[in-house]
Amino acid sequence: MSRVGKKPITVPDSVGVNISGQNISVKGPKGTLDFSFHWDVEVKMEEKEVQVSVKKITKETKALWGLTRVLISNMIIGVTNGFEKQLELQGVGYRMAVAGKKLNMALGFSHPVDVDIPDELEAKIEKNILTISGIDKQKVGQFAATIRALKKVEPYKGKGFRYVGEIVRKKAGKKAAGAEK
């Protein structure tokens, strides 16, 4: 039995949930999200709660049960509050700017790096912190990971993209040569 899957999802008054067949649509003040769940999983709307259950219990459906419940919960949170990730860029000469739906960055390469911002996401820059926000948790996290992968934090000087609050352990550099002779 899935401990996560058993919990009912409470639906706020400002959110509308529509279940038709194997599809669920969640509409809220920030937008609309759709999701197609597995045919072995059953989703029911009872008053102001969404209940997720499985038709038959197997190893696969136990995993899908909790996953489906969390995905629907994230959809409801997304259309009411939204999600955001913050990336911090550290390094001398490293810069970033938002121009329309493009993110322009100077990351120490011989060329500038331009990345298109997806339509459903927003990007804001304050000082050296990039804030990515949107209603779909997966898309926000994936775009943040894509940006971070362009210039990961290197362990010697700590230059590159890091999540705000991420702790980066620095390595010791080279020792002075010939000190032991």
Mean pLDDT, rounded, for 59-65:
89
Q: What is the pTM of this model?
A: 0.88
- Structural domain that includes position 127: 83-163
Pair (94, 62) in one structural domain: no
Instruction: Write the CATH number for 122.
Output: 3.90.930.12
Q: Output the average pLDDT for the chain.
A: 91
Pair (46, 13) in one structural domain: yes
Q: Does a structural domain hold residue 178? A: no
Torsion, Cα 131 135 138 139, to 10 degrees, reads -60
For residue range 17-54, list pLDDT tens digits in order. 999 999 999 999 999 999 999 999 999 998 899 999 99
For residue range 76-109, list pLDDT tens digits in order. 999 999 999 999 999 898 999 999 999 999 999 9
The closest of 111, 103, 152 to 131, measured between CA atoms, is: 103
Q: Does a structural domain hold residue 101? A: yes
Please say whether the beta carbons of 74 and 34 come within 8 A: no
Q: Does a structural domain hold residue 180? A: no
The closest of 92, 153, 146, 107 to 123, measured between CA atoms, is: 146
